[in-house]
Structure 1
Amino acid sequence: MLTDWIKKHTTYLFPSHCELCHMVIEPEAFHPQFCVTCQLRFAPTIRCRRCGLVTPEVTEMCGECLVSPPLWTRLYCVGDYQPPLASYVHRLKYEGQYWQAKTLSGLLAPRIDTRPDLITFVPVHWRRYCYRGYNQSEHLAWQISRELAIPCDAVFKKVRSTPRQQGMDKKQRRNNVRQAFCLTKAIEVEHIAIVDDVLTTGSTVHQLCKLLLGNGVKTVDIYCICRTPEPSNR
């Protein structure tokens, strides 16, 4: 009770301020870093529940998925790769601000309404890991794991360094990551979620889904911060 009293009165005397507008964050705000008004900038968009792309109305499978369904069952995301969301992803991925994983996971975790047996993440090649010092998707996965109280573990290894995929179309991206990954351990669960920071064509997670589904996993979900439209040249 004393701890609650101290927290209540400390918040009153020294209120937190929104990172975007710098106004005081209201008690009813669900995210500790943004006020209620700015949280609306991260409001969910109507999307296909299978592929995660924007649709006119909520649907389990959009027309694209009916024609060519992805290997995963559900995709959860915060939004498109646009400000202000994009700036937080950029800080996490390129500016060494690994603590932004907590900010972003706090936006994503409340939207996840299924419970996998295990959460894992897209691996990076050891050269990229040494250069950056960490794997941003791993940080996101562990934060989401804590938020949802679901185990997290590394089950993939990237065995081949690949060129960056910016500017590649869908076919080029698929070829770029083919046979670039392997499993590092036997899989003993049936439902796994894979965490990535940004998903465009889904080429990388497609390869990871193939590995899981070929080794006894029945259901794969994708958790990503940004789901961007695919390049027009496929």
Structure 2
Amino acid sequence: MKEYVDSFLELIYPEKNTCFVCDKYDEEIDQKYICCDCEKKIKKIVPPVCVKCSKPINYDKSTELCQECGGDERYFEISKSLYAYEGVIKNAIYNYKYYNKPYFYKLFGNLITDFINKENYLNYDYIVSVPLHRSKLRKRGYNQSELLARHISNSLSIPYIDALKRIKRTKKQSEKSKEERRKNLKDAFLIKASSDKIINRSVLLVDDIYTTGSTVNECSKALITYGVSKVYVITIAR
């Protein structure tokens, strides 16, 4: 059955050997979904970075925390991001979210899984994702973070739990200041009743972008309040 579904999806989204970023066709791409030229253009996040949120910082300072993490309460243990949110990666994420390209999860999911294995970022029991409000989910048709999380779950053989629910219809975060983002997301998330498995366990929270950290922090707060022992975060970019 799975083979049939995969073949059917291949007819709808004939992306094998095609770079999702530039649409170049090359048999060497196979199921990487990105060509070598585009891969070279992506700016990776490299040390020195904040030990809490992975923001690039200068270690000449007296602390290994960025200003935001030093001044704000963080409910997650660590947040890691692969790339700087600019250039080709920014365009690809935008297309993934807003141009009806749900299959982009294959590209980003593979990149994240490779990163997790390379960094040995595997100290959690379950995987969860940042939810969309039902109105936005209805409009978009899919939750890009959930698609990523489920792909990572399958790749790592770590169970995915559909634990979080967004109960507050929030305005677009990108148009708001840091303080406005925090207020916008206050009490926006709750834990679904069927999520007892994550109590006293650690989880990996998956999202697409880390900007100020307000979204993943509010999700982490809901998870910790519910009884999760530790929350780790992964995003494509920041």
Tell me which of 191, 202, 218 is aligned to 2:202: 191
CA offset at residue 79 of structure 1?
Answer: 1.0
Equivalent residues in 2 for 1:1-234 (5 A)?
A: 16=17, 18=19, 20=22, 22=24, 24=26, 32-36=32-36, 38-42=38-42, 43-46=44-47, 47-56=49-58, 61-64=64-67, 65-68=69-72, 70-112=74-116, 113-115=120-122, 116-185=124-193, 186=196, 187-227=198-238
2:126/2:158 contact within 8 Å kept:
yes
Tell me by how many angstroms 1:170 deviates.
Answer: 1.2
- Look up the SS of the partner of 2:207 in the other structure: strand
% identical aligned pairs: 28
Q: CA deviation at 1:67?
A: 4.3
Aligned length: 211
8 Å contact from structure 1 (residues 191, 220) kept in 2: yes
1:44 CA drift (Å): 4.0
Contact 2:126–2:202 (Cα < 8 Å) also in 1: yes
User: Alpha carbons of 1:131 and 1:81: their partners in 2 closer, same or farther (altered >3 Å)?
Assistant: same
Answer whether contact 1:48 1:54 (CA < 8 A) is retained. Answer: yes
Letter in 2 for 1:114: Y
Unaligned runs of 5+ in 1: 1-14, 228-234
The alpha-carbon distance between structure 1 residues 44 and 174, as it changes in their structure 2 partners (threshold 3 A), is closer
98-107 vs 15-24, which moves further? 15-24
| Greater radius of gyration (CA) | 1
| Worse-superposed segment, 191-200 or 62-71 | 62-71
Answer with 158-167 or 115-124: which moved more.
158-167
Q: CA RMSD in A?
A: 2.8
CA contact under 8 A between 2:50 and 2:66: conserved in structure 1?
no
Deviations 1:181-227 (A, max 9, x none): 11103333421111111111111111111111122222111111111
Q: Deviations over 1:108-131 (max 9, x none)?
A: 222222221011011111111111
Larger mean Cα displacement after TM superposition, 41-50 or 160-169:
41-50
